[in-house]
Amino acid sequence: MPDRQHRIDNRIDKGQARRAFSRAAERYDQVAVLQREIGQRMLERLELVRLQPQVILDIGAGTGVATAALAARYRKSRVLALDFAFPMLLQTRKRGGWLRKPRCICGDLEQLPVAEQSVDLIYSNAAIQWSNDLDTTFAEFRRVLRPGGLLMFTTFGPDTLKELRAAWAAVDSGAHVSTFMDMHDVGDALLSAGLADPVMDVDRMTLTYERVSGLMKDLKILGAHNVNHDRPRGLTGKGRLQAMQSAYEAFRRDQDGLLPASYEVVYGHAWAPEAGHRSNAPSIALDSIGRDLNRAGRSG
């Protein structure tokens, strides 16, 4: 195993990210098409797992869509929703009946305010890319999982928003788009944390827009715009923004006249080892063909 830590190349400004998601909370569900689709696919994968968890921890719960779905699927389980943006948890609390409101925890995935070996299932949809140190994050996940507990997660790979990144690169050398880790590095980090039998695979999805401004608006509402420490500060000049939009036009599709926004969606799962379990199994990479999630007609 390489003697190195698995960090995102450009560190996340956690304060800025928290503020962005806090501002996004009330409108998040209006545009979170991709996140809901990924979350649903992850829930479907749980149908293949024989697991009756007593305690489930939804890390990066956002507005609680998956929290509610997990509570409905595992009716005898205690489901906890964790997010670092408190306004997101206020949205989560609106879900569920009077007798079974989601239990919410405001905290960061790199330092979980959860007791050791107290969780049977960690579900985390599109959240670990907000970690600055994946080794620390996965070590925390292992710490709170009971032996035999399951970690199931999604994140984004380096081809995510590749068109936007290329369009900005044609204008200047600034870091305008967040950086995402390679799937194999994520798998290595699982093994480094001592999690057992990791499995990784990737799906490729595409959202489409009439104009770049529609994509930029969605990213802002989602709170998912660039929050790296080395992002350009201050307002982006009108001229540079127009130059980026012009460069993005090179990606306009002939078949429908729309602009694509590519997402490399990484799925992973691993187990907290049982007592005496030893596993040095490599990560398994299974490339799969993605689908278009068309959002034609959106404009800024």
Closest by CA to 31, choosing from 216, 212, 210, is 216
The pLDDT of residue 96:
72
On the CB side of 203, CA atoms within 13 Å amount to 17
Contact between residue 73 and residue 43 where contact means Cβ atoms under 8 Å apart? yes
Residue that has been written with the tokens 């140190």 in this structure: 133
Provide the CATH number for the domain formed by 14-160+180-206+263-293 in this structure: 3.40.50.150
How many angstroms separate the CA atoms of 152 and 174, rounded? Answer: 34
Give Dmax over CA atoms of the chain in angstroms: 62
Question: Which H or E element spans position 12?
Answer: none
Q: Give me the amino acid identity at 69.
A: A
What per-residue confidence (pLDDT) applies to 175?
77
What letter represents residue 115's amino acid?
Answer: A
**How far is Cα 289 from Cα 203, in angstroms, rounded to an integer?**
6
Note the pLDDT of residue 294. 38
- Can you spell out the DSSP letters for 222-247? HT-S--BTTSPPSPPPHHHHHHHHHH
| pLDDT, block means (10 residues), the chain with 300 residues | 48 86 91 94 92 96 96 94 96 81 93 97 96 96 98 96 95 84 95 96 96 92 59 61 96 97 96 68 34 36
Task: List the chain domain ranges.
Answer: 14-160+180-206+263-293
**Is pTM, for the whole model, over 0.75?**
yes
User: What pLDDT is recorded for position 11?
Assistant: 76
